Structure 1
Amino acid sequence: MSDDGPVLIFDSGIGGLTVLREARMLMPERRFVYIADNAAFPYGDWQEEALLDHLLRLFAQLLEEIRPACVIIACNTAFTLAGAALRERFPETDFVGTVPAIKPAAERTASGLISVLATPVTVKRDYTKGLIESFATHCHARLVGSRYLAALAEDYICGIAVADSALWAEIAPCFVEEESRRTDIVVLACTHYPFLANRFRKLAPWPVDWLNPAEAIAMQAKRVLGSSTAAADGGPNHDFVIFTGENLRPETVRLMQGFGLKIAARRAG
C-alpha cells in the first residue's frame, strides 16, 4: 500500500461509478483509478473457482502497477467470493468491501419484510445467507437473484433505451404481501442497480426504501485512509479508468468523459 497513491475502485463493469461518485464527494482531494473488468463481465456466467483465480491474478497485476492507498471492491459478487482470499494474499493492502446491506435493512424495516435484489451468484453465496442469519432472523428476507439487471443497468447508464417491462420482470419478485404487511425495504445488492433507482420507484406497486450502499462504502474508505497523506492534484480531471477488455461502445466512452475519467491507453488483464 502507498499512502500517497490513488484510491483504486474495482467493479466487474461500470456500476461502481455509483461508489466513485460518493467517494469523490467525501474525498475531493484524492485521486482515483477506476477498474472495469469488462472482459470478464458478467461475473454470474463464471464458475466460482475460475472467477476466484481470475480475481487473484488480476489484482496481483493491478496492485503492482497502481500501488494504491486502498482498494474499494465495488462489487458484491467479487467481494463476497474473493474478499477474504485477497486480504490473505495481499496483507499490506487495505481492502474496503461491498456486501449486501442486510443489517441496516433489518434495523430499519417496519413491516419485517425486506428483499435483497442481487445477482444470482450473490444470492446463492453462503456469505449472504450468513448476513441474514446474523442480522435479520427477526425478518422475512426474500433473496431475489436477477440474471439480467446488471447488463440492463449498463445499457441504461450509457443512454441505451431499456423497456419498463424488462425492468419489472427483474424486480417484481421483490414485492411481497403477507396479510396486512408489505415489503418496505429493497436492498440494492449490486452497485449497478442504484443507477436505475428512479425507474424502480416509478414501477413499484407501492413505495419502498431502495437501500443504496454507495455512501456507506465511501465513508468506510475514508475511515480506512484516515489521516494518511492524500495524493496531490486530486479531482476528476486527474482520475482515470482502465478497462480489461478492448471493445468499448461509444456510449461507454462518452459516459467516462461525463464522469471526468481519462481512459488509460494500457489495458489490465
Structure 2
Amino acid sequence: MKKKKEDYSDLNAQQPIGIFDSGVGGLTVAREIKRMLPQENLVYFGDTKHLPYGEKSREAIVGYATRIATFLLEKNCKAIVIACNSATANALKEVIELVDGRVPVIDVINPVAEKVAFEIHTNVGVIATKATVYSGLYRKSIRKHNKFIKVVELATPMLVPAIEEGFRNHPITHAIIYNYLSNNKLKNIETLILGCTHYPLLINEIKQFYGNRVRVIDSPGIVVTELKQILDKHQLLNTGNKSPEYEFYVSDITRNFEKISKKIFGNAIVLNLKVL
C-alpha cells in the first residue's frame, strides 16, 4: 500500500475526535481522552448491532469499519481512533486508504506493540478476540521492533459478551478469567497485554488473578498518549475549549449498553441511534 501524503491543513483544533468500537469497550479509550485531553470534543460510535466483531469474518469487519469511518468523516472529525482491536487487526489498511491522508488515524495495537517492544520484556502474552489473535498482528508488530521477544496470543472470546451483559466483578467473569489465564500458553509470561478495549473493564480482576507476578498492560493510556503527540505535532490540540461536547451514536440501542456506558463515561451520556 502506497501511503498517501498527509495533508491536515484544512483541519482545525475545534473539530471533534472520532472514535469507534463494536460496543462499550472503546469507551475505555474515550474516557482516557476525556481525562488526558479534557478540552477535546468527541464523537463516539458503538456498533452494537454487529458486536462482537471478534466472531465476524475479515470481510464483514472491513465493511463495518469503513462505513463508520465514513460517518466520522461526515461528522467533521479531525482524527479517527479505531478503538477496537478486531477492527484494527482486520481493517486498519482499508480505513487508512479510505481516509486518504485527510485526517490522522490512530489504532489500538501499534502504539502498544511499539511501547512493549522497547521496554524490558522477554515473554509477552496477549489475550484478545479470535479475529485479533488469528490476524497475529500483535506478535508481528512487537517482533518488528524487537525480534528477541517471545509473544504468545490466546483467544478469549467469552469475555466481551460477559462484559456487554454487565458481568463485571461477578462470579461469571471470575470463572472465565480463571479458565483463560490458567491456560498453559500463558504459563511463563512476564507481561500481559489486554488486546481488546473491553478488557480494561476487568483489569482489577485480572490483576487479582496474577497478584504481582505479571505486569498487566492497560492500553488506553498508551493509545491516548500517541493521539496527543500526533495532534500536538500538527497543532490540532484543542486548548481553549471550556465546554467540550460529547456525541454518542450506536447502531442499536440496548438497555445494557446504556447502563454500562453511563458507568464508564458518566450519566451525561445521551445515545443517538444511527444505522449505517
- Please classify the TM superposition score into its range, dividing by the shorter chain length: 0.7 to 0.9
Looking at structure 2, the residues matched to 203 and 70 of structure 1 have their Cα atoms a distance apart, in angstroms, of 37
Deviations 1:203-241 (A, max 9, x none): 227621110111111112112222336274544xx3121
SS at match of 1:108: coil
Deviations 1:126-147 (A, max 9, x none): 5334224313431321111111
Looking at structure 2, the residues matched to 187 and 265 of structure 1 have their Cα atoms a distance apart, in angstroms, of 32
Q: Give the counterpart letter for 1:6 in structure 2.
A: P
Q: 1:1-269 alignment to 2 at 5 Å?
A: 2-3=11-12, 4-64=14-74, 66-91=75-100, 92-99=102-109, 101-109=112-120, 112-156=122-166, 162-173=172-183, 176-177=186-187, 182-204=188-210, 207-226=213-232, 227-228=235-236, 230=238, 232-235=241-244, 238-246=245-253, 248-249=254-255, 251-258=256-263, 259-260=265-266, 261-269=268-276
Q: 1:175 to 1:208 in 2, by over 3 A?
A: farther
The answer on whether the counterparts of 1:142 and 1:174 sit within 8 Å (CA) in structure 2 is no
Looking at structure 1, the residues matched to 251 and 223 of structure 2 have their Cα atoms a distance apart, in angstroms, of 23
Aligned length: 259
- Unpaired runs of 5+ in structure 2? 1-9
Aligned-residue offset at 1:11: 0.9
Q: 1:229 to 1:113 in 2, by over 3 A?
A: closer
The answer on whether the counterparts of 1:118 and 1:144 sit within 8 Å (CA) in structure 2 is yes
Aligned-residue offset at 1:175: 6.4
Deviations 1:53-105 (A, max 9, x none): 232123223321x1112111111111122112111112212211111633433
**TM-score, structure 2 as length reference:** 0.83
Aligned-residue offset at 1:160: 6.9
The answer on whether the counterparts of 1:109 and 1:184 sit within 8 Å (CA) in structure 2 is no
SS at match of 1:93: coil
Q: CA RMSD in A?
A: 2.5
Aligned-residue offset at 1:172: 2.1
> How high is the sequence identity, in percent, across the aligned residues?
22
Q: 1:267 to 1:188 in 2, by over 3 A?
A: same
**TM-score, structure 1 as length reference:** 0.85
Partner of 2:7: none
Q: Give the counterpart letter for 1:7 in structure 2.
A: I
The answer on whether the counterparts of 1:120 and 1:147 sit within 8 Å (CA) in structure 2 is yes
